[in-house]
A and B are shown apart, each in its own frame.
Chain A
Amino acid sequence: MARSVNVDVKYLTRVEGHGNIVVNVKDGIVEECRLDIVEAPRFFEAMLRGRSIFEAQHITSRICGICACGHTISSIAAAEDAIGFTPSEQTTKLRKILLYQEMLDSHILHIYLLVAPDLLGVPSFVPLIDTHGNVVKRALRMKKACNDVCAVLAGRHIHPISSIVGGFTKIPGEKELDAMLDILYDMRPDMDSTVELIKTLAPAIPVFERETEYVALVTDDDEYPTLEGDLGSSDGLRLDKSEYLKITNEFVMPHSSAKHAKASRKSYMTGALARFNINSEKLNPKAKAVADALGMKPPIINPYMNTAAQLVECMHYMEESIAILEDLKANGTDQSEAITVGLNERNDIKVNKGLGVGAVEVPRGLLFHSYEVDETGKIENANCIIPTSQNVNNIEHDMSKLIHEILDKPDEEITLMFEMLVRAYDPCISCSAHFLDVEFINR
Chain B
Amino acid sequence: MKRKTVAFFDFTCCEGCQLQVANFGEELLDILAAIDVVMFREVMSEKSDEYDVAIIEGSITTPHDVERIKEIRETATTVIALGSCASIGGINGMKNSFKLEDVQSYVYGEDGKNYFETIPTMAVHQVVDVDYFVHGCPIYPPEFVKILKYALQGLPYTVKDEAVCVECKLNENECMYEKGLTCLGPITKAGCNSWCINYGNICYGCRGMVKETTKNASIDVIKKYDIPMDWIMGKFDMYNKATESEEKK
Binding site for B on A (CB under 8 A): 11, 13-18, 39-43, 45-47, 49-52, 55, 58-59, 62-66, 68, 109, 113-114, 117, 123-126, 129, 136-137, 140-141, 143-144, 147, 154-159, 161-162, 164, 168-170, 252, 254, 257, 259, 338, 340-343, 345-346, 430-431, 434
Pairs A–B under 8 Å by Cβ, sample size 20 = A13-B45, A14-B45, A41-B108, A42-B92, A43-B104, A58-B238, A62-B14, A62-B91, A66-B15, A114-B43, A124-B46, A129-B32, A137-B26, A140-B28, A158-B19, A169-B199, A252-B111, A345-B182, A346-B180, A430-B13
Docked-complex contact A52 and B231, CB < 8 angstroms:
yes
Q: Are A162 and B201 also in contact (CB < 8 A) when A45-B107, A343-B182 are? A: yes
Docked-complex contact A65 and B14, CB < 8 angstroms:
yes
Docked-complex contact A129 and B29, CB < 8 angstroms:
yes
A434: chain B residues at CB < 8 Å are: 116
> Which of A124, A137, A158, A252 is close to B23, meaning CB atoms less than 8 Å apart?
A158
Docked-complex contact B18 and A65, CB < 8 angstroms:
yes
Docked-complex contact A343 and B227, CB < 8 angstroms:
yes
| Cβ of B34 under 8 Å from chain A | no
Docked-complex contact B26 and A55, CB < 8 angstroms:
no
CB distance from B196 to the nearest CB of A (A): 5
Docked-complex contact A125 and B43, CB < 8 angstroms:
yes
> Which of B14, B92, B102, B201 is close to A161, meaning CB atoms less than 8 Å apart?
B201
Q: Are A345 and B180 also in contact (CB < 8 A) when A46-B98, A46-B102, A113-B43 are? A: yes
B11: chain A residues at CB < 8 Å are: 40
Which residue on chain B has the smallest CB distance to residue A170?
B200
Chain B: how many interface residues by the 8 Å CB criterion?
A: 74
CB distance from B49 to the nearest CB of A (A): 13
Which residue on chain B has the smallest CB distance to residue A429?
B15
Which residue on chain A has the smallest CB distance to residue B234?
A51
Docked-complex contact B103 and A46, CB < 8 angstroms:
yes
A170: chain B residues at CB < 8 Å are: 199-200
New A-B pairs, 16, CB < 8 Å, besides A156-B138, A169-B199, A340-B179: A40-B12, A43-B118, A46-B95, A46-B98, A46-B106, A47-B98, A58-B238, A144-B25, A161-B201, A169-B201, A252-B109, A342-B176, A342-B182, A343-B182, A345-B182, A430-B10
Which residue on chain A has the smallest CB distance to residue B93?
A47
Docked-complex contact A161 and B137, CB < 8 angstroms:
no
CB distance from A89 to the nearest CB of B (A): 20
Per-residue CB contact flags for chain B residues 16-56 toward chain A (1 = under 8 Å, else 0) read 11111011111011001000010001111111000000000
Binding site for A on B (CB under 8 A): 10-20, 22-26, 28-29, 32, 37, 41-47, 61-62, 64-65, 90-92, 94-95, 97-98, 102-104, 106-109, 111-112, 115-116, 118, 137-138, 176, 179-182, 195-196, 198-202, 204, 225, 227-228, 230-232, 234-235, 238
Q: Are A55 and B180 also in contact (CB < 8 A) when A124-B45, A144-B26 are? A: no
CA distance A16 to B18 in the complex (A): 11
B225: chain A residues at CB < 8 Å are: 345
CA distance A55 to B182 in the complex (A): 13
CA distance A143 to B25 in the complex (A): 7
Docked-complex contact B199 and A155, CB < 8 angstroms:
yes
Docked-complex contact B16 and A41, CB < 8 angstroms:
no
Which residue on chain A has the smallest CB distance to residue B109?
A252
Docked-complex contact A341 and B16, CB < 8 angstroms:
no
B23: chain A residues at CB < 8 Å are: 143-144, 147, 157-158
CB distance from B30 to the nearest CB of A (A): 11
CA distance A254 to B111 in the complex (A): 10
B115: chain A residues at CB < 8 Å are: 252, 254, 257
CA distance A271 to B27 in the complex (A): 31
Docked-complex contact A158 and B43, CB < 8 angstroms:
no
CB distance from B227 to the nearest CB of A (A): 6
> Which of B65, B95, B231 is close to A43, meaning CB atoms less than 8 Å apart?
B95
Docked-complex contact A161 and B200, CB < 8 angstroms:
yes
> Which of A15, A46, A154, A259 is close to B199, meaning CB atoms less than 8 Å apart?
A154
B182: chain A residues at CB < 8 Å are: 342-343, 345
CB distance from A21 to the nearest CB of B (A): 14
A259: chain B residues at CB < 8 Å are: 108
B65: chain A residues at CB < 8 Å are: 40
Q: Are A66 and B107 also in contact (CB < 8 A) when A11-B41, A50-B234 are? A: no
B201: chain A residues at CB < 8 Å are: 155, 161-162, 164, 169, 341
